Structures are given as structure tokens and as C-alpha cells.
A and B are shown apart, each in its own frame.
Chain A
Amino acid sequence: MTNTNDTLAPGTIGRRRAAALPEQPPQLWKSVKPKKAYDIVIVGGGGHGLATAYYLAKNHGLTNIAVVEKGWLAGGNTARNTTIIRSNYLWDESAAIYEHSLKLWETLEEDLGYEMFFSQRGVLTLAHSVSDVRLKRRNLYANALNGIDSEWLTPEEVKKLVPIINISEDVRYPVHGATYQPRGGIAKHDWVAWGYAKAASDLGVDIIQGTEVTGFDIRNNKVHGVHTSQGTIAAGKVGLVAAGHSSLLANLAGFSIPIQSRPLQALVSPLLEQVLNTVVMSGAVHVYVSQAHKGELVMGAGTDAFNSYAQRGGFHVIEHQLAAALELFPIFSRAQVLRTWGGIVDIAPDASPIIGVTPVENLFINAGWGTGGFKATPGSGWVMAHTIAHGTPHELNKPFALDRFLTGHLIDEHGAAGVAH
């Protein structure tokens, strides 16, 4: 499905009338009460959990599945993220899984029969110093070998693509160039989750909201079910896909994972006439911005320094981020912060996810996507479904096994700085 709303060529500035969003389907998903037992219980009804359930049903023909969500469906990070999608990661292992995901994105709307405003408007990643350029160019060469579209743009080329960007030499950290992934972009987060939920529900998956998993029925090191706020649900296999709460659930199942949960914030402006048709990221100065379909600027901020489950962060993080944004985009001066919010991101020591088996038989985990897992939603669901269905990881998630922390084979995706969307 092509994006009908992106009528502007990349980089053109112009007035645009608000286009109403397409109507939602009359039926999304059925909310049901839990049955006594399922073949598979997925803990966590975020994008990844829902995608896992969908691919279990679709790719593996398993439909006696429940997705158990403690709050409202996809109300965690799925509902809170800035939706940047790209696959131009540095390490081969990461590039492979994110590229697999991007390929799935490219046909997802057709596959699910659901519009998600997936828009491949391109993602720019800016470099601001000589060493930053070196790092970004390495990334570019790595991508080339991995068959991932990625280009190097000079500051002037960046300006051509994004006319409102300030490439002058006078700013504190001038733009030295950028990598550009044309196939990157954004999508509408809620609709992605709802699309998966609807498709899974249509295939017979039970979606259970308002039900918190509080423990596990583990006997002889094998999981037999989950205890929930609505009683115990028996399960042949259980998948933990509970971003933000992964380490708590692992602890309940009797093992530890190297995850710290941190607040990550974002903000939006009111609707504005179109000024930005490309996603712009700058790790060095902490700017992550796109202009969404309706016209609001969507910006990611940094993580707070401390562990938290409060889903809110400090305002100084936002202030700092806006100062940097104005350096890059002086035109944003009169834009306004309409709303800020925070999510809880699970961060692993190497900033890479953990997907695979656990020390408990038939219990599988998918965690640690940190600040950048939205883009992985389809790919993550795909390999998680495979892992659960077969009891062993898919080729793509083998490197992301929990035991990499024992062997020391980390996949360090910290990049130059801070948040990796």
C-alpha cells in the first residue's frame, strides 16, 4: 500500500491542508476472557508480543494462543515511541535482523490488510565532527556489504533534502555530512499494533487485556503456565515479550537478565504545515525528529540517567534536546511543545536485544530492545514466533541469545552517543 498522504516531494516546503486520517475498520479485535489453558501464552501485548502471536498463527499454524497484557493493548512503548524505522545498523548480526524487519515492513500493510501510514521517507543520520564522520562512514561501508541501502550525503546534499536544516559552519557542532537510508521512515505506532492485533484476533488468537502476569508455574525447570491477576492460565509454552518489565518477569521465573529499565521521553508539537519530509537523527547532539502525517513534529529526547518504572522523565532532558534542535533547525523557534511523555526502555549492556531460549524449558524471552525496537516489530515477532514454535532460535536471532553475556560475545550497538532509534 502506498502512502497517499505523502504528496510532497522530499524536501519541499509548502502549505498543506490537513488530510483526515483514513477511517478505521469497524471491528478491530475481540476482547476476551482467558480460557483455562493455551498451547502458547505471550506475556505482553505490545507490538512485539502481538507480532509474535500473529506470526505464530500465520507462519506456524499455531492458533491456540493468548496474548496477556496487563494494561490496555499496546499502551507501553508501542504507544510512546517516535516510530523511526531503519535498518542501517553497524554489526552484521543487527543489520540482518533489522533488514529482515524492514523487508517485512515493506509489505506489511498488504499482508495485514491494514493501513499503518508506513512511509519510506528516508532517514538521515548526521555527523558533527571528524571522528563522527569516520564512524558513520564505517557504518556505511558495513551496510553496503550487507546489501542495505545507505548513502553518504555532503552537507550541501543534506540541505537539498532538508531545506530547513542549518548547515552553516558557525553553529557549535556543524553538520559534516550524513548517512541516508532512503528506505527508512516512519509508521503510525498505534495502527501497527492494532493491525497485528486485528490480524491475530482474526486468526483466532485470544487477546486478553487488563491482566497482569504475576508469576509462573514452573515445575522441574519447565514452565506449565502463568499466574495472573485473573487466575492461573496453563500454557505449553510461554513467551516473555514485556518490554519495560523484562527483568522483573525473568526474576519471577527464577533467572536474571542484564537489563536496566530507564525512562525515555518524546514530545510532539501541534499540527504544522509541512516543513520536514525526512527523518533526521543526530546522536551527537541528541536530535531525533520527523513530521508525522497529520503535521505534528515528533521528537525523541534522551534517556534519564536512572532506573525507573514511572513512565515519565525529567524536564531538563527535554530542554536540553530543544536547544540542540534549534541549532539544527532555526525554523523550529516558534514551534511549540504540545505534549511530552515517557516510556520505560529495557537496556542491555551492549544496547542489543535478547531473543531466545531461557534457563527454563519452554520459556522464551524477547527483551532489551531499548530505545530502538519499534522498527524491529515485524522482524522480532517473526523470529520470536520461530523460536517458540521450534524451541530453538531462528538463524537471525541466534547471535542475540542470553548466553552471549557468558561468552563475552556482545554486539555493541551503542554507536557514537546515547540513544539509538
Chain B
Amino acid sequence: MLYIPCPHCGLRNETEFHYGAEAGVAYPDPNALADSEWAKYLHIRANPKGWLAERWVHFAGCGRWFNLWRNTVTHEIGPAYLPFTEQPKAPGNIGQEGPKA
């Protein structure tokens, strides 16, 4: 039962939230993309071992979406931030993330 800081409501139990995977994946201009790029938008989300900036929605509370740094190994919770605001620095090393090539 994670304890999640909703930027609007404060700390609440995880069961009040829904998960939204990696944060910051903007909806692209669909027509500007090749099939492979579009498929990537549809299906690929970061899945690092370590700190991950991810989306949550406080569905059983204020109903608002926000972003949160969370460590996928220790379950430590980092800062939360609102969509379209500057992303705070990761609280620690971010894990392997994204293609290296």
C-alpha cells in the first residue's frame, strides 16, 4: 500500500489512485509518424529498474492526474509534480532507460 502524495490532497493510500505508466510521453502528431514510430507511441513505455517518472490519477479523491518520481526497486516515493510543469530532478540515479542505440 504505497503512500502517494497527491499534489492537491496530500498523502493518500495507493488504493485511491490509478496508475498511468511513464510520464511525459506527449501525444504526437499522428500523421507525421511512420508506422513504426506510431507503434512505438502506442506500445512502448519506459520500464526502468530504479527511479521512474510516472503518471498517477487520484481517481477516488480529487480526480486529478499528476506525475510522480518513484523508485521501482525500493518503492521510495520522490516528488510529485503537475502535468505541464517542469520536471523536478530525479531523487537518485535513474535506472537503465530507453534505447542506448
Chain A residues proximal to chain B, CB less than 8 Å? 245, 247-248, 251-252, 254-261, 305-310, 314-316, 349, 405-406, 408
Contact = CB atoms under 8 A, between A and B. Distances in A.
A405 B41 CA distance: 11
Given A256-B98, A309-B73, 17 more contacts: A247-B47, A248-B47, A248-B49, A260-B21, A260-B47, A261-B47, A305-B14, A305-B17, A305-B18, A305-B19, A307-B52, A307-B54, A309-B49, A310-B72, A310-B73, A310-B74, A406-B39
A309 B99 contact: no
- Smallest CB-CB A-B distances: 7 pairs: A254-B101, A258-B43, A305-B19, A247-B47, A406-B39, A309-B49, A256-B44
A37 B97 CA distance: 29
B18 A258 contact: no
A307 B15 CA distance: 15
**Best-buried of B36, B39, B40 by chain A (most CB within 10 Å):** B39
A251 B46 CA distance: 10
A306 B74 contact: no
A256 B47 CA distance: 10
Contacts of B42: 349, 405
B3 to A, nearest CB: 11
Interface string B49-65: 10010100000000000
* Chain B interface residue number, banded: 20 to 34
B8 interface: no
B99 A256 contact: yes
A310 B75 contact: yes
A316 B1 contact: yes
Contacts of A259: 47
A305 B17 CA distance: 9
B25 interface: no
Nearest to A359: B101
Contact of A307 (B47, B99, B101): B47
A372 B49 CA distance: 22
Contacts of A254: 99-101
Most buried by A among B15, B70, B72, B97: B72
Contact of B2 (A255, A260, A261, A314): A314
A254 B73 CA distance: 22
A255 B47 contact: no
Nearest to B15: A316
Interface of B: 1-2, 14-15, 17-19, 21, 35-36, 39-40, 42-45, 47-49, 52, 54, 70, 72-75, 95-101
Query: Which of B54, B74, B75, B98 counts the most A-chain CB atoms under 10 A from its CB?
Result: B75
Main secondary structure of the interface of B (DSSP, over half): loop
Nearest to B70: A306
B42 to A, nearest CB: 8
Given A308-B75, A406-B36, A315 B99 contact: no
Contacts of B96: 248, 251-252
Nearest to B37: A406
A52 B95 CA distance: 29
A408 B43 CA distance: 10
Given A248-B96, A260-B45, A405 B15 contact: no
B19 A255 contact: no
A307 B2 contact: no
Nearest to B13: A316
A261 B95 CA distance: 14
Contacts of B14: 305, 314, 316
A252 B98 CA distance: 9
Contacts of A314: 1-2, 14
A307 B18 contact: no
A405 B39 CA distance: 6
Given A248-B49, A314-B14, A316-B1, A307 B72 contact: yes
A306 B1 contact: no
23 contacts: A245-B49, A248-B49, A248-B96, A251-B98, A251-B100, A252-B100, A256-B44, A258-B44, A260-B45, A261-B72, A305-B14, A305-B17, A305-B19, A306-B19, A307-B52, A307-B54, A309-B49, A310-B75, A314-B14, A316-B14, A316-B15, A349-B43, A405-B43
A415 B95 CA distance: 33
B59 to A, nearest CB: 11
Contacts of A306: 2, 19, 54, 70, 72
Contacts of A258: 43-45
A216 to B, nearest CB: 10
A52 to B, nearest CB: 23
